[in-house]
Amino acid sequence: MATHRGTIGVLTGGGDVPGLNPAIRAVTIRAIREGYRVIGIRRGWAGLVDTIPDKDADNSNNFQVLDEDAVNRAGRTGGTFLHSSRTRPSHLPGDVVPPHLRDAYAEDINDVTPAVLKNLEYLGIDYLIPIGGDDTLSYGYRLHTEGVKVVAIPKTMDNDVPGTDYCIGFGTCVSRTIEMANALRSTAGSHERILVIEVFGRYSGFTALLPTMAGAADRCVIPEHEFDIEHLAELLVRDRNRNPSLYSVVLVSEGAAMSGERSFEGEGTDQYGHRRLGGIGDRVAARLSELSASYNNGRRINVTSQRLGYLIRSGAPDVLDSVAPMAFGNLALDLLLKGTTGRLVGLRNGVYDSVPLDVVDGPHKVVDVQKYYNKERLRPNYETFDGTPLFLS
């Protein structure tokens, strides 16, 4: 029987993004070559909640031992072959507590962390590498405070995890937003319309700001600045009428607030307390259509609304989300091999680095409105680029 230096667990939590599989691949290949065994936890934290610590139990849906063949096949693809969930073990609703834990956890909301710790011990996991956004990583930090040796990797299309300039998924998100916005111009121009495109961005507007800066739109509205719809209508009508093809484009972050209100789909929340955002693009489009005549000599302008949504999440990673996850995975192993844990790997000032993991319990990283956003023009600032970070974060 082969002996190993130790066992490393890796998992992906929250929304899927391109770049997760390259990160899993990097962790696994480096770990195996350094003499470690790697266990992939399936469905994020759910795999560690649902695992039954009994050798006779069927846990095939909860974890798997990873090898180079498995991760090489998946490493070029999008999504996460380990699957994902938004499970929060510290706040688990009673109706999703697995049957084998219901005798011990019978409250409406349960902290099943003791069961998670027991399963980590059962699996023999010496080090844990969670890959996720601030929600997933905040529970990773909780486990760190419980004595688990954790090194975390940041992932989110919004690029809003503090402590790093770059999160896995952001590059593909910006690339696809630019590509799709440019493709949608043909129909907007053909019908002389205003085009409203809703993009990701719950708390942070980087996913709207950077594509607009790259020329994908005339204006953008972001969560960091409450916008006035009449002012936006005036600007977009002016943009349209100055365009020889008689159209204009605005990118709207899903978390943007119009008249102080954000748009949600339903009243329910996930285990992290988040209501599902969505619909702001349609609301903006409807109001722009109503207001357009006021700025267009009494003639109403047709407005088209398109929500990019899962089209941005789907498919293979771009070059940034192929290279950065590889580096993040290897950086995590660099730390583990030195015996350094309780860290978040990342990119800071153009250099791969790591910071203490407690940074994820701090505020989200957001657009510096004073530096990078023109509140009067509802568009990026194009000044003082000397010395600014690559992604303005």
Question: So which residues are the catalytic ones?
Answer: 158
User: How many angstroms separate the most distant Cα atoms in the chain?
Assistant: 82
Amino acid at 134: D
The span from the CA of 72 to the CA of 381, in Å, is 42
Phi, psi angle pair for 299, to nearest 5° = -100, 125
SS (H, E, C) the chain: CCCCCCEEEEEECCCCCCCHHHHHHHHHHHHHHCCCEEEEECCCHHHHHHCCCCCCCCCCCCEEECCHHHHHHHCCCCCCCCCCCCCCHHHEEHHHCCHHHCCCCCCCEECCHHHHHHHHHHHCCCEEEEEECHHHHHHHHHHHHCCCCEEEEEECCCCCCCCCCCCECHHHHHHHHHHHHHHHHHHHHHCCCEEEEEECCCCCCHHHHHHHHCCCCCEEECCCCCECHHHHHHHHHHHHHHCCCCCEEEEEECCCCECCECCEEEEEECCCCCEEECCHHHHHHHHHHHHHHHHCCCCCCCEEEEECCHHHHCCCCCCHHHHHHHHHHHHHHHHHHCCCCCEEEEEECCEEEEEEHHHHHCCCCCCCHHHHEECCCCEECCCCCCCCCCCCC
The span from the CA of 170 to the CA of 161, in Å, is 11
Tell me how many degrees the CA angle 98-271-283 measures, rounded to the nearest 5.
140
The span from the CA of 360 to the CA of 344, in Å, is 8
The span from the CA of 46 to the CA of 42, in Å, is 7
The span from the CA of 176 to the CA of 31, in Å, is 32
